[in-house]
Amino acid sequence: MSLISTLARLEAVDSGRAQPLATVRHRHLTDGPLVLVPLTTAGEAGAPLGALVGTDRAAPRLLAVAQPRDRDLRFAFLAELAEAVLPHIESYADVVEPAERSEVDPGTGKKVKVEVELCADAAQLIVPSRAGIDFVRLLGRSMRFRRTAEDDPDTPYPAPARVPLLGRWMTHYGERARVPGSSLLLAATDLLNRHWATGQSSLEDQHLGALLAWVDPPDGEPGAAAALRAELERDRDGQLVCPPAGPATDPAFDNRLLAPAIERYDRARAALAAAEDALDADTRLGELSGAEREIRSLLAGVLLPTWDAVWRGIDLLRELPEGTRAEDRWTRDRWSFTAHRDRVRAGEPPQPRRDDAVTAAQKLAARETAQAQLDAQEALDDPLVLAGRRLAGEAFIGEVTEVEMAYSESKRPSPRPLVTVRTDERPHLGERTKVYRSLDGRPQTAEFVGYATEDAGHAEPEGTVHLVLRITDRMGRSKEPAPGSVPEPGDRIAWTLFEHDQRGGPKLPDPEDTPWTHGGPPGAAGGGHAEQPDPVTAEDIL
C-alpha cells in the first residue's frame, strides 16, 4: 500500500466513510453484465450448492441442488447453469466488426495485415468476491474434461450436453481474470476496493457487506459501526443478517437450517422410492417437492442479500465516469473473447490441465506487460492515481517557463527544443532520463538535460526547481516543429518517468526452434496427446 492510499484509509477512519482512491472508473462495465452468485457445499471440491444468475437485477434465476452429494442433481444444476450462462455468452459471439491483425506470413516471413472478425462487445461476468473468481475457475476445471453421451456413448456417467462447453468458457474467464486490468470476469469486492479506501484493513475489505457499509453507509451511520453489523449481526435464529458472499456458506446456516432440510429431502425421496401404489406415490411426490422448495427458499434467503449487494456495488461504480483508457483495455478483452470463440468453433480440445512451458512463459510475459500498461494508463486517466506516482518521484507536474529552440547536430538538423519547467516536486531524474507527456493522447518523449540556475530577480518559493528538458519526437518531419507540438510558456504539463505504451518483450522462438530444456522438441510435437477426462468412481463424493 502506498503512503497516499494509507492516508486515504486514515481519512476514512476519521470521517467514518470510505474515501476515493480514484476519480474515474478504471474498469469497463458493459451495459448488461451477467451477475453470478455461487454457493458451494462446505468441504466438497466440486459440489455446488446453488447460485443466483442473471442480467436483470429484478429477476435473478435461482439454481439449487437439493442434495449436493447426488451426481445426477449436480449435473442437472450444471446443465441449468449452462443454459443460464451460455446463451448470454453466445449472444455476443455473433455481433462482430471487421478488424485487422498483423500476422507473420508463413511463406515470406513478413508481417502482413489480415482481415479478421472482432466481437463488437464481449460478455461480462461479475461475481461477488475473489473466492467467486476462484470458484469459476474450479467449476471450469471440473466441467471441461467431462464427456457427454454424444462424445463417447460408453462413458460412465455422461455429462449433460453443454456442460463441457460451459467448462471451457469458465476456464477461459477464470484465466483471463488473472490478467491485470482485464474486465471479462470481475469481483465486486475488487472493483470497490480499487476505487475506494475504507477505514479497515485490506483483509476485512474482502467482506462484501462490510466493504459496502464503508463505501455507502446506510443513513449516515459511521462506516465502522455499519461494517461491524454486516460482519456479526445475527437474527433470533442465530443466522447472519448479512450472509457471506460465497461461495462458502456460514457454518451456522449449514448446521441449523440446511442440514435438517437436506435430511428431510432425503427422507422424502426414500419414502417416494418405497411408495407402494400410485396414490401413495402422489402424496410422497408432493412431500418431496415440498422439501425441495424448502431448500430452494433457504438458499434464496442467503443468496439474495449478496445478489443485491453486487448490484449496489455496480450502481456505485457506474456513478464514476469511465477512464478514457479503460476502453482500450476492454478492446483487449474483446480480442481475448473473440479468440476463445474461434478456438471453440474450430473444434479445438479443451484447455490442458497444465500449460506447457512455452504457453506458461507467454502468459506470464503478457501479464507483466498488462500490469505495466495498467499502471501507466490508470495514472494517465486519473489525477489521483498520478498523485501517487508523483509522490513516488515517478511523475511530476510543472509549469513551462521558457522554450529555447535548438537543433540536432546532423546533416539534416531536426528540432530539439529545450523546455524549462518549474516544479516543486522531486522526480528521480538522472542524466538523460527519458520523460513522457501525453500529446493528443499519444506520448511525446523528452530527455532530462539538467537543472537550470534560478533567476536572481524572481523570489521563488522554497523547494522550487527548474528542470531543462529536451523534446525529442512528435514534432513532424520539417525543420520547424509542427504547430502545437512544442509546449509554450505558461503550460502546465504532467510528465511521467514511465512509458505510456508497453511493448511486450521479444517474441518467443517457434516451438521447433525452442530447445527441449524450455519445452520445445523433442517429444513436444504440439501436444500430441489429448487430455483424458478425470476418472470417475461409483461414488465420487465422500
Partner 1 sequence: MLATALGSPAAFGQSQFAFVRGNAFEAKVKADGGTELLRLLVERLGGGAEAAAVAAVPDLTAAGPEGRAARTALALREATAAGSWTLLDHPMLALEVAGSPAYLEPDAVVVHPDGTWTVVEIKSFPMIDSSADAAKVGAAARQSAVYVLALERVAAMTEGAEVGHRVLLVCPKDFSNLPTASVVDVRKQRAVTSRQLTRLTRVEDIADALPEGTTFDPGCSAEELGTAVESVPAAYAPECLAACELAFHCRAKARAEGAVEALGRSVRGELGGLTTVAGVLAAAAGKEGDPADPTVAALRRAAALRAEALAGVDGGVPCH
Query: Which residues sit at the interface with partner 1, rule CB under 8 A?
Result: 1, 3-4, 6-11, 13-14, 20, 23, 41-46, 68, 138, 141-142, 199-204, 224, 228, 231-232, 240, 249-252, 254-255, 259, 353-354, 380-381, 383-384, 386-388, 390-391, 397, 438, 441, 492-494, 534-537, 539-542
- C-alpha–C-alpha distance, residues 442 and 439, integer Å: 5
Pick the closer one to partner 1 by CB: 235 or 513.
235
Q: Closest CB to partner 1 among 260 and 450?
A: 260
The residues pairing with 423 across neighbouring beta strands, listed in sequence order, are 465
Provide the minimum distance between the beta carbon of 250 and partner 1 in the complex, in angstroms, as a whole number. 7
Adjacent-strand bridge partners of 400: 421
CA-CA distance, 76 to 62, in Å (whole number)?
13
Closest CB to partner 1 among residues 60, 223? 223
HEC sequence for 235-250:
CCCCCECCCCCCCCCC
Q: 3-class secondary structure for 5-46?
A: HHHHHHHHHHHCCCEECCCCECCCCCCCCEEEEEEECCCCCC
CB of 44 to partner 1, least distance (A): 6
Read off φ and ψ for residue 447, nearest 5 degrees: -125, 150
- Sequence-distant (≥ 6) Cβ neighbours of residue 279 within 8 angstroms: none
Q: Please, which contacts does 4-10 make with residues 24 or more away whose CB atoms are closer than 8 Å?
A: 4/387, 4/388, 4/391, 5/197, 5/388, 8/197, 9/197, 9/198, 9/199, 9/200, 10/199
Q: Min. distance of Cβ 202 from partner 1 in angstroms? A: 6
Q: How far apart are CA 12 and CA 211, in angstroms?
A: 12
Cα distance between residue 211 and residue 234, in whole Å: 18
In the complex with partner 1, the residue whose CB is nearer, 56 or 263, is 263
Please report how close the Cβ of residue 355 comes to partner 1 at its closest, in angstroms.
Answer: 11
CB of 280 to partner 1, least distance (A): 31
Min dist CB 385 to partner 1, Å, is 8
Q: Which is nearer to partner 1, 46 or 158 (CB)?
A: 46
Instruction: Supply the minimum distance, in Å, between the C-beta of residue 238 and partner 1.
Output: 10
- Closer Cβ to partner 1, 121 or 175, answer by number: 175
Cell digits for 174? 477464470
Nearest residue (CB) to partner 1, 23 versus 433:
23
How many residues belong to the chain? 542
Q: Name the residue nearer to partner 1 (CB basis): 129 or 514.
A: 129
Rounded to a whole number of angstroms, the minimum distance from the CB of residue 121 to partner 1 is 26
Q: How far is the CB of 303 from partner 1 (least distance, A)?
A: 17
Cell of residue 167, nine digits? 467448462
Grid cell locating 109: 516471413
Residue type at 162 in one-letter notation: R
Residue pair 472/370 in contact by the 8 Å Cβ criterion: no
Residue placing its CB nearer to partner 1 in the complex, 203 or 456: 203
Residue pair 338/117 in contact by the 8 Å Cβ criterion: yes
